[in-house]
Structure 1
Amino acid sequence: MPVSSVTTSRTYLIQQLGQLNDTLSEKTTQLARGKVGTTYGEIGDRRLLDIQLTQRVSMIETYQQTITIADLHLQTGSMSLDRLEEIRQDAKSALDTNDFIIQDDGQTQTQSRAELLLNETLNILNTEIAGYYVFGGTDAVNDPVATIDAILDGENGLDGLRTYLSEFAAANLGTNENGRLDTSALVTNYAGAVPTDSTFTVAEDGAHDFGFDISAVTSTLTNVTVTGPLAADPDSFDVQFTGQPELGETITLELTLPPDHTDTIEIEFTAAATAEGEGTFAIGADLEETAQNLRDALEAEIEKQAQTTLRAVSDEWAAEEFFTTYNGEEPQRIDGPPFDTATALMAGGSTTVEWYTGRNDTTTDPRNDKNAVIDSNLTVNYGVRANETPLQELVQSLAAFVAADFSGGTQIDEQYYNALSTNLRTTLQPAGVEQSGIVDIATDIAITHRTVSLTDDRHFQMKNTYEGTITDIEGIDQDLVAAEILQLQTNIEVSYRASSIVFNLTLSDYL
């Protein structure tokens, strides 16, 4: 064999050994990493599918991170709303019309219970999760709801609810605390010493929405003429006696209540021998005395209704004006002083404590305040504002009840307490309404939470499927690779032996 042939064989063997070593190193790396290679080019013709699936897995992981945060917010919101609904139901029990017991601090026992519920409500409405306030839309950087002390008594020179209640009470009760109605003195004409007719007038004190509004007067009284009301503003009516009525005959006065004057109360009096029975006036010795008895009875009953029924309605109105701030609405307060002769409301935003400071721009749906993209073409909305009507009414009712003053402990105070607690219970649970507004909000959040949960489950399943396919594309058959490594090791050993024989050949051996 020529020397050149031996040299060529030797070079060839070296190349083969190098290739076998490279292949062994590649297979060893594959076995260690569990993948075909380190680049998409090593995958082969399935690399495009592998790239697409890898991108989808990355997108799913991004959605899952968003879902984790949204799920935390939604779970917290759901639990908070559930508790607020329980508080609403507890509040109805706390506003017990049959539990008028004054404590040493001047509050009733029911007010103390309502104050605890109010405190808890405010704390829940300030729920914060990693910098996100559940009931503050998306703008809140601090507690979106003020403290109970600030709400009730004001702070930093701004007025609170108790000031509103006081001013509205003055405006509705008026100077004489009788609902802004004036009852004139009796005017009597005589024939000698015998009265021939006696007249008195009940009139509204001006054109405004405060106090009572005279709606109608009906009478079955014999020898009595009622003139008016004329549906004017201010309105009035005259009662003229030209003789004595008969026993059992009646007169009824209908008054409407602010602020919209659609709710009506009736004051009825029956002619009787004495005025000992409730809702009666005594027939006197002559028509003048009888007219005076009816006048006095009407005036006294109007005053009582003003300090009980009207004052309770006034407190509701004041609280509604104080707390109604949704969509940027400005609270309205009495245009005064003086307040007892006021005729209008004025903007109170600059002088009133802001009980809610979260997001409050105009929107048709506060759920849009907070959203999360949890899949391609799927965005969920779950914003909630503490000043939405159902939540506002809960805070408003509890706060109005706590702020009311029943400390006198008189029969009038008790009747005022009964009227206010009855009205506020109606606000918390309107007649004919089976499901509260808080439950409606909770339902919105629950539906969103279910959507998020189902989407998360779907992402989990799809991610597993994609990752399985990626593993099939990028992965190896470990048993096959191990067998290939053993074969390579065998081949290398054989090649080394062959190489050593060739490399040890000398010219003398060849010759």
Structure 2
Amino acid sequence: MIVNKSMFPVQTGFGVISKMQDKFATLQMQLGTGDKASKLSEMGRDLPLSLSVRSRLGSIEGFSANIDTVNLRLSFLDKTMTRFDKMEGEARNAAIPGQYGTGGINMATLPSLSAARFDEIVTMLNEDVAGRYLFGGKNTDKPPLLTTDALLNGEGGKSGYTEVVRQRRIADGVDDGVVAASPGPPVIAPLAPGRLTIDGTTPGTVTLGEDGTAAHPFGFKLSTISTTAASTAVAITTPATVPKTFGIAFTGQPASGDNINVGLKLPDGTETQVKLTATSEVPPPPGTFLIDATPDQTAANYQTALGQALERTAKTDLRAASAFAAANDFFHEDGTAWVPTTSVPGGKPDGLAPNSTNFVQWYTGSQAPAGQSARQSVSAAIDDASRVNYGMQANESGFLGLIRSQAALAISTYPSEAEVRGDLESTRLAAMAQPEGPLRSSALAAYEGKVQASYRLSTGFFDGMATRQQSELSEGQNSEAGSIEIITMDIGIAMKSLENATDRHKTYKSQLDNLLSDVETVSKEDVAMEILALQTRLQASYQTTSMVAKLSLVNFI
């Protein structure tokens, strides 16, 4: 029979000490790191909860990164929209009808100021944030607009806005010239002012009519006609014909002060009035027609005065309306320029069509689907069930109002009285060359009349452009979809959504951090107490085991 040397189970004591040493090592790791375990496999039953909490924290971190990125972009957009809103006010105040400034300074500086604003608008719409262009909708990898010079003057063999204005003025009957209409060869534009016809072949009757069909968008369109003269003196007829015509029959003599008022629709949707008053004054002042010896002669005088009035209106109101209509045509919502066309080869322009072959495309960003806001073109997730929409398109109505109005004013000029006199200097010199007396006085009076007539055209054009800019940038349009103010409000709502999401994430993250701390970390104070207690037990075990290991029958004997 074999009897162990020791009388006690020393091996069992060593096993207990080994376990306490392992526990001591674990406690030392926990005290050093603050973690319950150094490996996932050591987490035990806390592992599923730990993984779930960490996954949720990872999601919050991703949403927070999105929020930070979008916040940067919205901050840029907010500052940009603030500048756009300020620019609207600056533009309205820069051109006020009737306010020409001392020596016409307002007229002289308006084109350059408008050009500077137009360039600033283009620059802001083409700016990028960290390589991302924000005003092209979904297309964020390139500028949505061409350069300022390319927009106005064209590039790469293609024309820009300036050429559309030239062709539109000719098509509207403001200027004479050649329009490269399509299909067919270039055509000579109509000579009649505003594309109206004045017929006086029937004695005592003046007929005013539209050319072509009423469907074409160019020139004057007859709207209304009225007279304060007695029905026995002036008879007005408005036959239901196409094209539309007005008949003014002088069946008798109007009284001095009676007027005939013709209402005209302009190509930009506005209206103007051509009012002529009967007078016995010789020579008749501007805006009047002479009551002559017979009704037939009075009708002829009215025809002449009407032609002159239409010519003045064509060079002022119609010219301004044509410039803004051209701005609508070139800076079209779809990004492609629309230009005058003709359905009859060699005929007058009678329609508008997109032309990307000969004209630059001003906007190359994406197009929001019908009925959808441009804001929805770009979005970012800020929560499991929340997204913020912050897409922008340079072809929205608020931006278009600024772009169109400033482009129109940038390429328009308004000669001052001094410049008009300079242009007519040869006429003045010719008058001065006349012998002193009635001939020279008459020639100088004619020269002065030309100066004043030309200057009135300049101021009239300025007033027309200023009025249209005031309307285009009116505060009354603030509530329209796509306005600067509505877009700014959309940005504010998006920024508030980000702020609310950030607050939610902070609160939730704090709760999850506390929960994860309870699951994965330990109290260092508790661990230190356990180490001290374990150290005492381990030392006692070492001593006891040492003493017990010495107890044997041999040693006892």
- TM over 0.5, shorter chain: yes
Q: Percent identity?
A: 27
Relative to structure 1, the CA distance from residue 268 to residue 129 in structure 2 (aligned partners, 3 Å threshold; closer, same or farther) is same
Is 2:253 aligned against 1:244? yes
The answer for the alignment partner of 1:178 in structure 2 is 193
The answer for the alignment partner of 1:37 in structure 2 is 37
The answer for the alignment partner of 1:371 in structure 2 is 379
**Residues of 2 paired with 1:451 and 1:358: CA distance?**
26
For residues 207-249 of structure 1, give each alpha carbon's deviation from its aligned partner in whole angstroms, at most 9, with x where no partner exists: 1331112234333157645453324222333444455333233
SS at match of 2:120: helix
Is 2:434 aligned against 1:388? no
Is 2:489 aligned against 1:443? yes
Tell whether the 8 Å contact from 2:292 to 2:298 is kept in structure 1 after alignment: yes
Residues 267-346 of structure 1 correspond to what in structure 2 (within 5 A)? 267-325=275-333, 328=334, 330-335=336-341, 341-346=348-353
Is 2:164 aligned against 1:155? no
Query: How far off is 1:53 after superposition?
Result: 2.2
Relative to structure 1, the CA distance from residue 228 to residue 483 in structure 2 (aligned partners, 3 Å threshold; closer, same or farther) is same
Query: How far off is 1:295 after superposition?
Result: 1.5
Aligned partner (choices 493, 506, 521) of residue 460 of structure 1 = 506
Relative to structure 1, the CA distance from residue 141 to residue 35 in structure 2 (aligned partners, 3 Å threshold; closer, same or farther) is same
**Residues of 2 paired with 1:285 and 1:329: CA distance?**
59
The answer for the alignment partner of 1:359 in structure 2 is 366
Tell whether the 8 Å contact from 1:169 to 1:311 is kept in structure 2 after alignment: yes
For residues 16-68 of structure 1, give each alpha carbon's deviation from its aligned partner in whole angstroms, at most 9, with x where no partner exists: 32222111101001111112223456455554433332222121111111111
Tell whether the 8 Å contact from 1:101 to 1:109 is kept in structure 2 after alignment: no
For residues 322-359 of structure 1, give each alpha carbon's deviation from its aligned partner in whole angstroms, at most 9, with x where no partner exists: 1122xx46432111699993122222233222221111
Relative to structure 1, the CA distance from residue 222 to residue 42 in structure 2 (aligned partners, 3 Å threshold; closer, same or farther) is closer
Kindly provide the amino acid, as one letter, of the partner of residue 294 in structure 1: Y
**Residues of 1 paired with 2:33 and 2:553: CA distance?**
48
Provide the TM-score with structure 1 as the length reference.
0.88
SS at match of 2:322: helix
The answer for the alignment partner of 1:193 in structure 2 is none
For residues 334-386 of structure 1, give each alpha carbon's deviation from its aligned partner in whole angstroms, at most 9, with x where no partner exists: 11699993122222233222221111252421111111111111111111111
Tell whether the 8 Å contact from 1:102 to 1:109 is kept in structure 2 after alignment: no
SS at match of 2:514: helix
Kindly provide the amino acid, as one letter, of the partner of residue 407 in structure 2: A
Tell whether the 8 Å contact from 1:106 to 1:406 is kept in structure 2 after alignment: no
Relative to structure 1, the CA distance from residue 495 to residue 43 in structure 2 (aligned partners, 3 Å threshold; closer, same or farther) is same
Aligned partner (choices 482, 485, 496) of residue 531 of structure 2 = 485
**Residues of 2 paired with 1:242 and 1:303: CA distance?**
26
Tell whether the 8 Å contact from 2:337 to 2:362 is kept in structure 1 after alignment: no
Q: Which moved more, 1:11-20 or 1:445-454?
A: 11-20
SS at match of 2:329: helix
Relative to structure 1, the CA distance from residue 274 to residue 147 in structure 2 (aligned partners, 3 Å threshold; closer, same or farther) is same
For residues 474-511 of structure 1, give each alpha carbon's deviation from its aligned partner in whole angstroms, at most 9, with x where no partner exists: 22121121122122223333333334445566875242
The answer for the alignment partner of 1:192 in structure 2 is none
Q: Which moved more, 1:41-50 or 1:244-253?
A: 41-50
Provide the TM-score with structure 2 as the length reference.
0.81
Kindly provide the amino acid, as one letter, of the partner of residue 538 in structure 2: I
Relative to structure 1, the CA distance from residue 339 to residue 5 in structure 2 (aligned partners, 3 Å threshold; closer, same or farther) is farther
For residues 130-164 of structure 1, give each alpha carbon's deviation from its aligned partner in whole angstroms, at most 9, with x where no partner exists: 23212111213111122111111111122211111
Tell whether the 8 Å contact from 2:335 to 2:395 is kept in structure 1 after alignment: no
> Across the two proteins, how many residue pairs are aligned to each other?
498
**Residues of 1 paired with 2:476 and 2:64: CA distance?**
44
Aligned partner (choices 353, 356, 360) of residue 349 of structure 1 = 356
Runs (5+) with no aligned partner, structure 2: 174-188, 421-454
Query: How far off is 1:99 after superposition?
Result: 5.0
Kindly provide the amino acid, as one letter, of the partner of residue 207 in structure 2: T
**Residues of 2 paired with 1:434 and 1:10: CA distance?**
92
The answer for the alignment partner of 1:255 in structure 2 is 264
Tell whether the 8 Å contact from 1:199 to 1:238 is kept in structure 2 after alignment: yes
For residues 386-426 of structure 1, give each alpha carbon's deviation from its aligned partner in whole angstroms, at most 9, with x where no partner exists: 11111111111111111224357533122112101111211
Query: How far off is 1:433 after superposition?
Result: 5.6
Tell whether the 8 Å contact from 1:186 to 1:292 is kept in structure 2 after alignment: no
Tell whether the 8 Å contact from 1:137 to 1:385 is kept in structure 2 after alignment: yes
Runs (5+) with no aligned partner, structure 1: 189-197
Tell whether the 8 Å contact from 1:170 to 1:339 is kept in structure 2 after alignment: no
**Residues of 1 paired with 2:516 and 2:475: CA distance?**
59
**Residues of 2 paired with 1:297 and 1:66: CA distance?**
69
Root-mean-square deviation (CA, aligned residues, Å) is 3.0
**Residues of 1 paired with 2:398 and 2:32: CA distance?**
62
**Residues of 1 paired with 2:544 and 2:406: CA distance?**
98
Aligned partner (choices 450, 467, 482) of residue 422 of structure 1 = 467
Aligned partner (choices 481, 495, 507) of residue 541 of structure 2 = 495
SS at match of 2:387: strand
For residues 244-289 of structure 1, give each alpha carbon's deviation from its aligned partner in whole angstroms, at most 9, with x where no partner exists: 33323332222222255x7342423223333544422222244443
Relative to structure 1, the CA distance from residue 322 to residue 7 in structure 2 (aligned partners, 3 Å threshold; closer, same or farther) is farther
SS at match of 2:142: coil
**Residues of 1 paired with 2:68 and 2:346: CA distance?**
54
Tell whether the 8 Å contact from 2:107 to 2:462 is kept in structure 1 after alignment: no
